[in-house]
Amino acid sequence: MFHKEGYPSIVISTILFAALLWISTAITYPILHYVPVLVGAFIWIIVLQFFRNPKRVASHQSAIIAAPADGKVVQIKRVSEDEFFGDERLLVSIFMSPLNVHVTRYPCDGEVVYSQYHPGKYLVAWHPKSSTLNERTTVVIRHQTGEEVLYRQIAGALARRIVNYAKKGDTAHQGADAGFIKFGSRIDIFLPLNARIMVNEGQVVKGSLTPIAELG
């Protein structure tokens, strides 16, 4: 199954593939005959795999915070979060390569109490200042315990479009589709200091399936 954000790109790549197949029929030289076919097939497969959207069912306990996206945990540390909380939080950063599933999923159940888009630059996603300088969206969910969890979609050097479905007042359901980031990026999750982190740096996680923390 494919994400709805990818339908235009899938249609365009399919038309391109068909056009290159037609061009290949006019090439009589044996080796060159296959070049347009291989190029078209490569582009088509890359687009299809990028926009894949596997269905997943979150089955964690209510206090568990699930990974909001596929990728690799590249950073776990205590930081100051100034946009919403204005205090220190536990940060878990997940880097998404172009080969990962790029669907953003709600990390927990609760109410969306904050959702803000920020235009910005396109530094590489692992750059230390990308979380404050790059194009990004910030979403805060108030859990039923009263704790608040913030996640931030951050554009990278290749990502040129962030899609965020979360709106203030919405009800978030863990694992549900919350948005999409096109062509590689990063997601930061800011957790209360009393949360128990359940992942390690370098660990590969799956959106909605991997528990990354438990609220205190």
| N- to C-terminal Cα separation, the chain | 36
Q: List b or e across 110-128, with b for residues whose CB sees 16 or more CB atoms inside 10 angstroms.
A: bebbebeebeeebbebebe
Distance CA 17, CA 43 (A): 8
**Whole-Å CA distances, 216 to 16, 54, 63, 78, 174:** 52, 31, 8, 16, 18
Catalytic residue among 115, 130, 131, 185: 185
Q: Is 24 a catalytic residue?
A: no
Axis-axis angle for helices 7-25, 35-50 (nearest 10): 170
* Residues annotated catalytic, as ranges: 185
